[in-house]
Protein backbone atom coordinates (compact mmCIF):
# COMPACT_ATOMS: atom_id res chain seq x y z
CA UNK A 1 0.00 0.00 0.00
CA UNK A 2 2.97 2.36 0.00
CA UNK A 3 6.43 2.94 -1.46
CA UNK A 4 8.87 5.59 -0.23
CA UNK A 5 12.20 6.09 -2.04
CA UNK A 6 14.90 7.69 0.10
CA UNK A 7 18.30 7.66 -1.55
CA UNK A 8 19.57 4.09 -1.44
CA UNK A 9 16.61 2.84 0.58
CA UNK A 10 13.07 1.93 -0.44
CA UNK A 11 10.48 1.58 2.33
CA UNK A 12 7.58 -0.69 1.36
CA UNK A 13 4.38 -0.78 3.42
CA UNK A 14 2.72 -4.18 3.11
CA UNK A 15 0.72 -5.36 6.13
CA UNK A 16 1.63 -7.07 8.37
CA UNK A 17 5.18 -5.79 7.69
CA UNK A 18 7.12 -2.67 6.89
CA UNK A 19 10.06 -3.67 4.69
CA UNK A 20 13.22 -1.78 3.79
CA UNK A 21 15.06 -2.65 0.58
CA UNK A 22 18.58 -1.31 0.00
CA UNK A 23 20.47 -0.59 -3.23
CA UNK A 24 23.96 0.64 -2.37
CA UNK A 25 25.56 -0.08 -5.77
CA UNK A 26 22.97 1.83 -7.79
CA UNK A 27 21.97 -0.98 -10.16
CA UNK A 28 18.28 -0.46 -9.35
CA UNK A 29 18.08 -3.94 -7.83
CA UNK A 30 17.81 -4.78 -4.16
CA UNK A 31 21.14 -5.84 -2.69
CA UNK A 32 19.48 -8.70 -0.86
CA UNK A 33 16.34 -9.64 1.06
CA UNK A 34 14.47 -6.76 2.67
CA UNK A 35 14.85 -5.91 6.32
CA UNK A 36 11.69 -6.11 8.41
CA UNK A 37 11.49 -2.98 10.57
CA UNK A 38 7.92 -3.23 11.91
CA UNK A 39 5.57 -6.21 12.03
CA UNK A 40 2.23 -7.37 13.38
CA UNK A 41 0.21 -4.69 11.59
CA UNK A 42 -3.36 -5.74 10.81
CA UNK A 43 -5.06 -5.39 7.46
CA UNK A 44 -3.22 -8.07 5.48
CA UNK A 45 -4.03 -7.65 1.77
CA UNK A 46 -6.35 -4.85 2.85
CA UNK A 47 -6.36 -1.14 2.10
CA UNK A 48 -7.11 -0.34 5.76
CA UNK A 49 -3.68 -1.55 6.88
CA UNK A 50 -0.21 0.00 6.64
CA UNK A 51 0.22 2.97 4.31
CA UNK A 52 3.14 4.89 2.81
CA UNK A 53 6.03 6.56 4.63
CA UNK A 54 7.05 10.15 3.84
CA UNK A 55 10.12 12.16 4.77
CA UNK A 56 9.53 15.27 6.88
CA UNK A 57 11.46 18.55 6.98
CA UNK A 58 12.67 17.64 10.48
CA UNK A 59 14.59 14.64 9.16
CA UNK A 60 12.03 12.17 10.49
CA UNK A 61 9.66 9.68 8.90
CA UNK A 62 5.88 9.97 9.00
CA UNK A 63 3.39 7.19 8.24
CA UNK A 64 -0.04 5.92 9.16
CA UNK A 65 -2.18 2.82 9.42
CA UNK A 66 -5.91 2.43 8.90
CA UNK A 67 -8.42 0.98 11.32
CA UNK A 68 -7.61 -2.61 10.37
CA UNK A 69 -3.91 -1.94 11.03
CA UNK A 70 -4.43 -0.85 14.64
CA UNK A 71 -1.09 -2.00 16.06
CA UNK A 72 2.65 -1.78 15.60
CA UNK A 73 5.02 -4.53 16.72
CA UNK A 74 8.71 -5.33 16.77
CA UNK A 75 10.28 -6.99 13.69
CA UNK A 76 9.77 -10.45 15.21
CA UNK A 77 6.12 -9.54 15.92
CA UNK A 78 6.46 -10.66 19.55
CA UNK A 79 6.11 -7.31 21.34
CA UNK A 80 4.13 -4.13 20.86
CA UNK A 81 6.15 -1.04 20.07
CA UNK A 82 6.03 1.37 23.01
CA UNK A 83 5.83 4.98 21.84
CA UNK A 84 7.54 8.02 23.37
CA UNK A 85 4.47 8.69 25.53
CA UNK A 86 4.97 5.29 27.15
CA UNK A 87 1.94 3.65 25.53
CA UNK A 88 1.83 0.33 23.71
CA UNK A 89 0.75 0.93 20.11
CA UNK A 90 -2.35 -1.20 20.15
CA UNK A 91 -5.57 0.42 18.93
CA UNK A 92 -7.89 -1.11 21.50
CA UNK A 93 -8.59 2.00 23.53
CA UNK A 94 -5.65 2.10 25.96
CA UNK A 95 -5.59 4.92 24.96
CA UNK A 96 -5.50 4.62 21.16
CA UNK A 97 -8.26 3.45 18.86
CA UNK A 98 -8.42 2.51 15.18
CA UNK A 99 -6.42 4.44 12.56
CA UNK A 100 -3.13 5.97 13.75
CA UNK A 101 -0.50 8.47 12.58
CA UNK A 102 3.17 8.08 13.53
CA UNK A 103 6.52 9.82 13.44
CA UNK A 104 9.88 8.12 13.99
CA UNK A 105 13.59 8.50 13.38
CA UNK A 106 15.14 7.36 10.11
CA UNK A 107 16.30 4.19 11.90
CA UNK A 108 12.69 3.55 13.00
CA UNK A 109 13.38 4.32 16.68
CA UNK A 110 11.54 6.76 18.99
CA UNK A 111 8.09 6.20 17.54
CA UNK A 112 5.52 8.87 18.41
CA UNK A 113 1.77 8.43 18.02
CA UNK A 114 0.64 11.76 16.58
CA UNK A 115 -3.08 11.13 16.18
CA UNK A 116 -5.60 8.35 16.66
CA UNK A 117 -9.21 7.29 16.14
CA UNK A 118 -9.29 7.65 12.37
CA UNK A 119 -11.07 5.17 10.12
CA UNK A 120 -8.94 4.70 7.01
CA UNK A 121 -6.45 7.55 6.91
CA UNK A 122 -4.91 6.44 3.63
CA UNK A 123 -1.73 8.52 3.56
CA UNK A 124 -0.17 11.34 5.57
CA UNK A 125 1.70 14.36 4.21
CA UNK A 126 3.86 16.99 5.90
CA UNK A 127 4.62 20.49 4.65
CA UNK A 128 7.91 22.35 5.08
CA UNK A 129 6.74 23.98 8.32
CA UNK A 130 6.11 20.55 9.83
CA UNK A 131 2.32 20.83 9.63
CA UNK A 132 0.66 17.45 9.11
CA UNK A 133 -2.31 16.76 6.84
CA UNK A 134 -4.29 13.74 5.72
CA UNK A 135 -7.66 12.48 4.51
CA UNK A 136 -9.94 9.93 6.14
CA UNK A 137 -12.70 7.75 4.72
CA UNK A 138 -16.10 7.38 6.34
CA UNK A 139 -18.14 4.23 6.81
CA UNK A 140 -18.96 4.02 3.12
CA UNK A 141 -22.07 5.81 1.91
CA UNK A 142 -22.49 8.42 4.64
CA UNK A 143 -21.03 11.45 2.86
CA UNK A 144 -18.51 11.84 5.65
CA UNK A 145 -15.12 11.79 3.90
CA UNK A 146 -12.93 14.39 5.57
CA UNK A 147 -9.66 16.28 5.30
CA UNK A 148 -7.76 16.79 8.55
CA UNK A 149 -5.13 19.11 9.84
CA UNK A 150 -3.45 16.68 12.23
CA UNK A 151 -2.98 18.57 15.47
CA UNK A 152 -0.39 16.44 17.21
CA UNK A 153 -1.51 13.96 19.88
CA UNK A 154 -5.21 14.50 19.19
CA UNK A 155 -8.23 12.18 19.11
CA UNK A 156 -10.08 12.36 15.78
CA UNK A 157 -13.41 10.90 16.80
CA UNK A 158 -14.17 7.91 14.58
CA UNK A 159 -15.56 5.98 17.54
CA UNK A 160 -16.66 6.98 21.01
CA UNK A 161 -13.55 7.67 23.10
CA UNK A 162 -15.08 6.09 26.18
CA UNK A 163 -16.79 2.98 24.80
CA UNK A 164 -15.37 2.43 21.33
CA UNK A 165 -18.89 2.33 19.92
CA UNK A 166 -19.65 3.63 16.46
CA UNK A 167 -21.37 6.84 15.50
CA UNK A 168 -24.80 5.22 15.09
CA UNK A 169 -25.05 4.61 18.85
CA UNK A 170 -27.20 7.40 20.29
CA UNK A 171 -25.53 9.72 22.75
CA UNK A 172 -26.30 12.95 24.57
CA UNK A 173 -25.71 16.08 22.49
CA UNK A 174 -25.18 14.10 19.31
CA UNK A 175 -24.68 16.10 16.14
CA UNK A 176 -27.62 17.03 13.92
CA UNK A 177 -26.02 16.02 10.60
CA UNK A 178 -24.61 12.58 9.81
CA UNK A 179 -21.14 13.68 8.61
CA UNK A 180 -20.49 15.50 11.90
CA UNK A 181 -22.10 12.75 13.97
CA UNK A 182 -19.88 10.23 12.18
CA UNK A 183 -16.79 11.87 13.70
CA UNK A 184 -18.20 12.75 17.17
CA UNK A 185 -17.57 16.43 16.51
CA UNK A 186 -19.57 17.60 19.54
CA UNK A 187 -17.55 15.58 22.05
CA UNK A 188 -14.90 17.26 24.21
CA UNK A 189 -11.48 16.01 23.22
CA UNK A 190 -12.21 15.52 19.52
CA UNK A 191 -10.22 17.61 17.03
CA UNK A 192 -12.45 19.42 14.51
CA UNK A 193 -12.47 18.42 10.85
CA UNK A 194 -10.99 20.83 8.34
CA UNK A 195 -13.11 20.00 5.27
CA UNK A 196 -15.96 17.54 4.73
CA UNK A 197 -15.81 16.40 1.08
CA UNK A 198 -18.93 14.22 1.01
CA UNK A 199 -19.00 10.74 -0.48
CA UNK A 200 -15.79 9.24 -1.79
CA UNK A 201 -12.88 6.83 -1.61
CA UNK A 202 -9.92 9.01 -0.60
CA UNK A 203 -6.45 7.75 -1.44
CA UNK A 204 -3.03 9.41 -1.94
CA UNK A 205 -2.16 12.92 -0.78
CA UNK A 206 0.82 15.28 -1.05
CA UNK A 207 1.70 18.94 -0.53
CA UNK A 208 2.49 20.83 -3.72
CA UNK A 209 5.47 23.08 -2.96
CA UNK A 210 6.47 23.77 -6.56
CA UNK A 211 6.08 26.84 -8.76
CA UNK A 212 5.13 25.32 -12.12
CA UNK A 213 1.40 24.92 -11.47
CA UNK A 214 -0.85 27.99 -11.01
CA UNK A 215 -0.66 29.88 -7.72
CA UNK A 216 -3.95 28.46 -6.39
CA UNK A 217 -2.19 25.10 -6.01
CA UNK A 218 1.11 26.33 -4.60
CA UNK A 219 1.71 25.31 -1.00
CA UNK A 220 -1.55 23.35 -0.89
CA UNK A 221 -2.68 19.76 -0.54
CA UNK A 222 -3.19 17.64 -3.64
CA UNK A 223 -5.47 14.69 -3.03
CA UNK A 224 -6.77 11.72 -4.98
CA UNK A 225 -10.33 10.52 -4.52
CA UNK A 226 -10.93 7.35 -6.52
CA UNK A 227 -14.69 7.26 -5.84
CA UNK A 228 -15.77 10.46 -7.63
CA UNK A 229 -12.71 10.06 -9.93
CA UNK A 230 -10.97 13.33 -9.21
CA UNK A 231 -7.68 14.81 -8.05
CA UNK A 232 -8.37 17.91 -5.98
CA UNK A 233 -6.47 20.66 -4.26
CA UNK A 234 -7.58 22.03 -0.90
CA UNK A 235 -6.36 25.61 -0.56
CA UNK A 236 -6.35 26.46 3.15
CA UNK A 237 -6.10 29.70 5.08
CA UNK A 238 -5.25 30.25 8.70
CA UNK A 239 -8.25 30.91 10.92
CA UNK A 240 -7.47 31.44 14.58
CA UNK A 241 -5.52 28.43 15.82
CA UNK A 242 -6.79 26.33 12.92
CA UNK A 243 -7.67 26.61 9.28
CA UNK A 244 -10.46 27.01 6.78
CA UNK A 245 -10.31 25.36 3.38
CA UNK A 246 -11.97 25.05 0.01
CA UNK A 247 -11.98 22.54 -2.84
CA UNK A 248 -10.47 23.09 -6.30
CA UNK A 249 -10.52 20.27 -8.85
CA UNK A 250 -7.21 19.54 -10.58
CA UNK A 251 -7.71 16.48 -12.77
CA UNK A 252 -10.98 14.76 -13.70
CA UNK A 253 -12.03 12.23 -16.32
CA UNK A 254 -15.27 10.90 -17.78
CA UNK A 255 -13.64 7.48 -18.02
CA UNK A 256 -15.62 5.35 -15.52
CA UNK A 257 -12.46 3.35 -14.81
CA UNK A 258 -10.38 6.38 -13.86
CA UNK A 259 -9.26 5.70 -10.27
CA UNK A 260 -6.54 8.12 -9.11
CA UNK A 261 -4.67 6.46 -6.26
CA UNK A 262 -1.58 8.59 -5.63
CA UNK A 263 -0.03 11.94 -6.47
CA UNK A 264 3.46 13.40 -6.14
CA UNK A 265 5.58 16.30 -7.35
CA UNK A 266 8.50 15.83 -9.74
CA UNK A 267 11.74 17.83 -9.40
CA UNK A 268 10.66 20.15 -12.24
CA UNK A 269 7.38 21.01 -10.50
CA UNK A 270 5.15 18.87 -12.70
CA UNK A 271 2.79 16.45 -10.98
CA UNK A 272 2.52 12.69 -11.43
CA UNK A 273 -0.80 10.91 -10.81
CA UNK A 274 -1.11 7.13 -10.52
CA UNK A 275 -4.38 5.63 -11.83
CA UNK A 276 -5.06 2.01 -10.92
CA UNK A 277 -7.80 2.08 -13.62
CA UNK A 278 -10.55 -0.31 -12.67
CA UNK A 279 -14.29 -0.72 -12.83
CA UNK A 280 -14.56 -1.07 -9.07
CA UNK A 281 -13.45 0.94 -6.08
CA UNK A 282 -13.42 -0.44 -2.55
CA UNK A 283 -14.83 -3.66 -1.17
CA UNK A 284 -11.81 -5.63 -2.46
CA UNK A 285 -13.41 -5.98 -5.90
CA UNK A 286 -11.21 -5.86 -9.00
CA UNK A 287 -12.30 -5.93 -12.63
CA UNK A 288 -8.90 -5.31 -14.19
CA UNK A 289 -7.10 -8.52 -13.21
CA UNK A 290 -5.99 -10.33 -16.37
CA UNK A 291 -2.24 -10.79 -16.29
CA UNK A 292 -0.53 -9.00 -19.15
CA UNK A 293 -3.64 -6.95 -19.95
CA UNK A 294 -3.95 -4.70 -16.90
CA UNK A 295 -4.51 -1.06 -17.76
CA UNK A 296 -3.18 0.92 -14.79
CA UNK A 297 -1.29 4.03 -15.86
CA UNK A 298 0.60 7.11 -14.69
CA UNK A 299 -0.17 10.66 -15.88
CA UNK A 300 2.02 13.75 -15.81
CA UNK A 301 0.31 17.08 -15.23
CA UNK A 302 1.67 20.43 -16.47
CA UNK A 303 -0.05 23.78 -17.09
CA UNK A 304 -1.47 24.58 -20.51
CA UNK A 305 0.99 26.42 -22.69
CA UNK A 306 4.02 25.13 -20.82
CA UNK A 307 6.59 22.81 -22.34
CA UNK A 308 5.63 19.17 -21.91
CA UNK A 309 9.27 18.12 -21.95
CA UNK A 310 10.45 16.70 -18.65
CA UNK A 311 13.51 18.65 -17.55
CA UNK A 312 16.13 17.46 -15.09
CA UNK A 313 18.33 20.27 -13.81
CA UNK A 314 22.07 19.90 -14.35
CA UNK A 315 24.76 20.64 -11.79
CA UNK A 316 22.45 20.13 -8.84
CA UNK A 317 23.79 21.09 -5.42
CA UNK A 318 22.62 20.33 -1.90
CA UNK A 319 21.24 23.88 -1.78
CA UNK A 320 19.25 23.54 -5.01
CA UNK A 321 17.98 20.11 -4.01
CA UNK A 322 16.80 21.32 -0.61
CA UNK A 323 14.84 23.94 -2.56
CA UNK A 324 13.29 21.25 -4.77
CA UNK A 325 9.54 20.56 -4.74
CA UNK A 326 10.38 16.84 -4.81
CA UNK A 327 10.59 14.96 -1.49
CA UNK A 328 13.22 12.45 -2.63
CA UNK A 329 15.58 15.25 -3.69
CA UNK A 330 15.05 17.11 -0.44
CA UNK A 331 15.89 13.95 1.49
CA UNK A 332 19.27 13.63 -0.24
CA UNK A 333 20.03 17.31 0.36
CA UNK A 334 18.94 17.10 4.01
CA UNK A 335 21.25 14.17 4.62
CA UNK A 336 24.24 15.89 3.01
CA UNK A 337 23.74 19.22 4.79
CA UNK A 338 23.03 17.64 8.16
CA UNK A 339 26.11 15.42 7.90
CA UNK A 340 28.54 18.34 7.55
CA UNK A 341 26.88 20.34 10.34
CA UNK A 342 28.43 23.77 10.88
CA UNK A 343 30.17 23.61 7.49
CA UNK A 344 26.74 24.01 5.88
CA UNK A 345 25.79 27.05 7.97
CA UNK A 346 26.67 29.61 5.28
CA UNK A 347 24.70 27.75 2.61
CA UNK A 348 21.71 27.38 4.90
CA UNK A 349 21.79 31.06 5.90
CA UNK A 350 21.54 32.00 2.22
CA UNK A 351 18.43 29.84 1.96
CA UNK A 352 17.11 31.40 5.18
CA UNK A 353 17.16 34.77 3.37
CA UNK A 354 14.92 33.42 0.58
CA UNK A 355 11.56 35.09 -0.09
CA UNK A 356 9.90 31.66 -0.19
CA UNK A 357 8.79 30.96 3.39
CA UNK A 358 8.82 27.19 2.82
CA UNK A 359 12.45 27.23 1.74
CA UNK A 360 13.24 29.34 4.80
CA UNK A 361 11.52 26.74 6.98
CA UNK A 362 13.55 23.89 5.43
CA UNK A 363 16.77 25.80 6.12
CA UNK A 364 15.64 26.51 9.68
CA UNK A 365 15.13 22.82 10.44
CA UNK A 366 18.78 22.20 9.58
CA UNK A 367 20.23 25.36 11.13
CA UNK A 368 18.60 24.47 14.45
CA UNK A 369 20.31 21.07 14.33
CA UNK A 370 23.84 22.46 14.12
CA UNK A 371 25.47 21.42 17.37
CA UNK A 372 25.78 24.36 19.73
CA UNK A 373 23.62 26.64 17.58
CA UNK A 374 20.20 25.17 18.35
CA UNK A 375 18.96 27.93 20.68
CA UNK A 376 20.41 30.67 18.49
CA UNK A 377 18.35 29.65 15.48
CA UNK A 378 15.22 28.76 17.40
CA UNK A 379 15.25 32.22 18.97
CA UNK A 380 15.80 33.71 15.52
CA UNK A 381 12.71 31.87 14.31
CA UNK A 382 10.64 32.99 17.30
CA UNK A 383 11.43 36.62 16.47
CA UNK A 384 10.37 36.23 12.84
CA UNK A 385 7.44 38.23 11.46
CA UNK A 386 5.97 35.14 9.78
CA UNK A 387 3.75 33.21 12.18
CA UNK A 388 4.38 29.88 10.43
CA UNK A 389 8.11 30.33 11.02
CA UNK A 390 7.46 31.08 14.69
CA UNK A 391 5.33 27.93 14.94
CA UNK A 392 8.12 25.96 13.30
CA UNK A 393 10.56 27.30 15.89
CA UNK A 394 8.40 26.03 18.76
CA UNK A 395 8.04 22.65 17.06
CA UNK A 396 11.78 22.31 16.58
CA UNK A 397 12.50 23.19 20.21
CA UNK A 398 10.03 20.52 21.35
CA UNK A 399 11.31 17.92 18.91
CA UNK A 400 14.91 18.59 19.92
CA UNK A 401 13.86 18.03 23.54
CA UNK A 402 15.29 21.35 24.67
CA UNK A 403 13.93 23.01 27.79
CA UNK A 404 10.72 24.34 26.23
CA UNK A 405 9.79 26.64 29.13
CA UNK A 406 11.99 29.65 28.17
CA UNK A 407 10.64 29.51 24.62
CA UNK A 408 7.01 29.27 25.73
CA UNK A 409 7.58 32.17 28.15
CA UNK A 410 8.74 34.25 25.22
CA UNK A 411 5.75 33.36 23.03
CA UNK A 412 2.91 32.90 25.52
CA UNK A 413 1.33 36.23 24.60
CA UNK A 414 1.99 36.03 20.85
CA UNK A 415 -0.73 37.79 18.88
CA UNK A 416 -1.14 34.75 16.64
CA UNK A 417 -3.41 32.00 17.99
CA UNK A 418 -1.53 29.38 15.97
CA UNK A 419 1.70 30.21 17.76
CA UNK A 420 -0.06 29.98 21.12
CA UNK A 421 -1.58 26.67 19.99
CA UNK A 422 1.97 25.38 19.38
CA UNK A 423 2.95 26.60 22.85
CA UNK A 424 0.05 24.72 24.44
CA UNK A 425 0.96 21.46 22.70
CA UNK A 426 4.59 21.98 23.74
CA UNK A 427 3.48 21.98 27.41
CA UNK A 428 1.97 18.49 27.12
CA UNK A 429 3.56 16.21 29.73
CA UNK A 430 5.93 19.00 30.81
CA UNK A 431 6.72 18.64 34.52
CA UNK A 432 8.22 22.09 35.09
CA UNK A 433 6.72 23.93 38.09
CA UNK A 434 6.28 26.88 35.71
CA UNK A 435 4.14 24.93 33.24
CA UNK A 436 0.74 25.35 35.01
CA UNK A 437 1.07 29.15 35.10
CA UNK A 438 2.05 29.24 31.43
CA UNK A 439 -0.91 27.06 30.50
CA UNK A 440 -3.13 29.39 32.51
CA UNK A 441 -1.90 32.38 30.51
CA UNK A 442 -2.66 30.53 27.29
CA UNK A 443 -6.10 29.50 28.56
CA UNK A 444 -6.95 33.08 29.49
CA UNK A 445 -6.49 34.03 25.84
CA UNK A 446 -9.11 31.57 24.57
CA UNK A 447 -11.82 33.60 22.81
CA UNK A 448 -14.66 31.19 23.53
CA UNK A 449 -15.13 30.44 19.82
CA UNK A 450 -11.95 28.78 18.54
CA UNK A 451 -12.38 25.00 18.88
CA UNK A 452 -8.88 24.37 17.51
CA UNK A 453 -7.37 26.48 20.28
CA UNK A 454 -9.56 24.87 22.92
CA UNK A 455 -8.52 21.38 21.85
CA UNK A 456 -4.84 22.38 21.91
CA UNK A 457 -5.35 23.48 25.51
CA UNK A 458 -6.98 20.12 26.17
CA UNK A 459 -4.08 18.20 24.66
CA UNK A 460 -1.76 20.04 27.04
CA UNK A 461 -3.86 18.85 30.00
CA UNK A 462 -3.07 15.18 29.38
CA UNK A 463 -1.81 13.52 32.59
CA UNK A 464 -1.76 16.90 34.40
CA UNK A 465 -5.44 17.80 34.54
CA UNK A 466 -5.56 18.72 38.21
CA UNK A 467 -2.32 20.67 38.27
CA UNK A 468 -3.05 22.84 35.23
CA UNK A 469 -6.79 23.29 35.75
CA UNK A 470 -6.36 24.23 39.42
CA UNK A 471 -3.79 26.87 38.48
CA UNK A 472 -6.24 28.39 36.00
CA UNK A 473 -9.15 28.26 38.45
CA UNK A 474 -7.10 29.91 41.18
CA UNK A 475 -6.13 32.70 38.79
CA UNK A 476 -9.58 33.46 37.36
CA UNK A 477 -11.46 32.95 40.64
CA UNK A 478 -15.18 33.64 40.39
CA UNK A 479 -14.72 34.80 36.80
CA UNK A 480 -14.57 31.18 35.63
CA UNK A 481 -18.29 31.27 34.79
CA UNK A 482 -18.07 33.12 31.49
CA UNK A 483 -18.57 31.75 27.95
CA UNK A 484 -14.80 31.38 27.68
CA UNK A 485 -14.47 29.82 31.13
CA UNK A 486 -17.30 27.41 30.47
CA UNK A 487 -15.42 26.20 27.40
CA UNK A 488 -12.35 25.50 29.52
CA UNK A 489 -14.46 23.61 32.08
CA UNK A 490 -16.22 21.63 29.32
CA UNK A 491 -12.89 20.46 27.87
CA UNK A 492 -11.22 19.63 31.21
CA UNK A 493 -11.29 16.37 33.18
CA UNK A 494 -9.95 17.39 36.56
CA UNK A 495 -11.27 16.44 39.98
CA UNK A 496 -12.94 19.86 40.16
CA UNK A 497 -14.61 19.69 36.75
CA UNK A 498 -17.74 17.70 37.65
CA UNK A 499 -18.76 20.16 40.38
CA UNK A 500 -18.39 23.10 37.98
CA UNK A 501 -20.34 21.34 35.23
CA UNK A 502 -23.21 20.80 37.65
CA UNK A 503 -23.06 24.46 38.68
CA UNK A 504 -23.40 25.40 35.01
CA UNK A 505 -26.37 23.05 34.60
CA UNK A 506 -28.10 24.46 37.69
CA UNK A 507 -27.41 28.07 36.75
CA UNK A 508 -30.66 29.73 35.72
CA UNK A 509 -28.75 31.67 33.06
CA UNK A 510 -27.86 28.45 31.23
CA UNK A 511 -30.20 27.99 28.28
CA UNK A 512 -32.02 24.69 27.85
CA UNK A 513 -30.45 24.10 24.45
CA UNK A 514 -26.98 24.45 26.00
CA UNK A 515 -27.48 21.84 28.71
CA UNK A 516 -26.92 18.67 26.62
CA UNK A 517 -23.39 19.88 25.88
CA UNK A 518 -22.49 20.00 29.58
CA UNK A 519 -24.35 16.78 30.39
CA UNK A 520 -22.28 15.03 27.73
CA UNK A 521 -19.10 16.49 29.25
CA UNK A 522 -20.00 14.74 32.52
CA UNK A 523 -19.62 11.40 30.70
CA UNK A 524 -15.90 12.11 30.41
CA UNK A 525 -15.41 12.69 34.15
CA UNK A 526 -14.65 9.99 36.71
CA UNK A 527 -14.07 9.32 40.39
CA UNK A 528 -15.93 10.12 43.62
CA UNK A 529 -16.04 13.82 42.69
CA UNK A 530 -18.25 12.96 39.74
CA UNK A 531 -20.51 10.79 41.93
CA UNK A 532 -20.94 13.62 44.43
CA UNK A 533 -21.71 16.12 41.68
CA UNK A 534 -24.34 13.83 40.13
CA UNK A 535 -26.02 13.34 43.51
CA UNK A 536 -26.19 17.11 43.84
CA UNK A 537 -27.67 17.40 40.35
CA UNK A 538 -30.29 14.75 41.06
CA UNK A 539 -31.10 16.33 44.41
CA UNK A 540 -31.75 19.65 42.72
CA UNK A 541 -34.36 17.99 40.53
CA UNK A 542 -32.68 19.08 37.32
The whole-number average pLDDT for the span 5-24 is: 95
* Cβ-Cβ contacts under 8 Å for 102 (sequence gap 6 or more): 62, 63, 64, 65, 72, 83, 89, 111, 112, 113, 114
pLDDT cut 70: percent of the chain above it = 99
Flag the least confident range among 61-65, 280-284, 396-400, 527-531: 280-284
Residue 283's pLDDT band (boundaries 50, 70, 90)? Answer: low
Is the pLDDT higher at 295 or at 488? Answer: 488
Contact between 412 and 390 (Cβ < 8 Å): no
Q: What pLDDT is attached to residue 62?
A: 98
CA neighbor of 100 nearest in space, from 148, 65, 73, 150: 65
Mean pLDDT of all residues in the chain? Answer: 94
**Of 451, 426, 448, 450, the residue nearest 438 (C-alpha):** 426
Are the beta carbons of 418 and 391 closer than 8 angstroms? yes
**What band does 267 get if pLDDT is binned at 50, 70 and 90?**
very high
**Closest C-alpha to 427, from 396, 404, 402:** 404
More confident site: 436 or 48: 436
Interval 101-117: pLDDT, tens: 999 999 999 999 999 99
Q: Are 115 and 152 in contact (CB under 8 A)?
A: yes
* 132-136 β-sheet, strand order: 124-126, 132-136, 145-149, 195-198
Percent of the chain with pLDDT over 90: 86
* Exposure letters 438-473 (e unless 16+ CB within 10 A, then b): bbbbbbbbbeeebbbbbbbbbbbbbebbbebbebbb
Task: With a cut of 60, say whether residue 346 has pLDDT above it.
Answer: yes
Lowest mean pLDDT among 225-229, 235-239, 496-500: 225-229
Of 39-48, 352-361, 445-454, which range is least confident? 39-48
pLDDT digits (tens, 9 = 90+) for 153-194: 999 999 999 999 999 999 999 999 999 999 999 999 999 999
Round to whole Å and give the CA distance between 74 and 58: 24
Distance CA 173, CA 176 (A): 9
Does residue 461 carry a pLDDT above 90?
Answer: yes
pLDDT given for residue 280 in this prediction: 66
Q: Is 190 helix (H, G, I), strand (E, B) or coil?
A: strand
pLDDT in tens, 286-335: 777 777 777 889 999 999 887 778 878 788 899 999 999 999 999 999 99
The residue-averaged pLDDT of 393-418 equals 98
DSSP state of 354: -
Per DSSP, the three-state class of 377 is helix
Cα(335)–Cα(321) distance, rounded to whole angstroms?
Answer: 11
Contact indicator for 217, 166 with CB cutoff of 8 Å = no
pLDDT of residue 541: 74
Q: Please, which residues have CB within 8 angstroms of residue 315's CB and are 6 or more apart in sequence?
A: none
Q: How do the domains of the chain map onto residue ranges?
A: 201-308, 495-542
**pLDDT mean over 441-448:** 98
Amino acid sequence: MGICVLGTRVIVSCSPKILVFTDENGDDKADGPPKVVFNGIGGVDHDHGAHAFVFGPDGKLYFNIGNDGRRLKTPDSKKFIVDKAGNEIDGRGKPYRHGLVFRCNLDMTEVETLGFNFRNNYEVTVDSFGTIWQSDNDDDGNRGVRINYVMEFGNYGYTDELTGRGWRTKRTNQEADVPSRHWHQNDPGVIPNLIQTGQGSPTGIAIYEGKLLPSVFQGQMMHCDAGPRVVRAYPVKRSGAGYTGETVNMLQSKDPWYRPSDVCTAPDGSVFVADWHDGHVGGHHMTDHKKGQMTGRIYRLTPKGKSKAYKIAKNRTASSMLSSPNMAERYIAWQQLHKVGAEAEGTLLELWKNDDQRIRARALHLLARIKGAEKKYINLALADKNSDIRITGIRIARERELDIIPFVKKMVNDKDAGVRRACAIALRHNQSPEAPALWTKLAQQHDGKDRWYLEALGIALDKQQDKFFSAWLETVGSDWDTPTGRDIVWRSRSKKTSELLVKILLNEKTKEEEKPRYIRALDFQSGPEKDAALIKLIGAGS
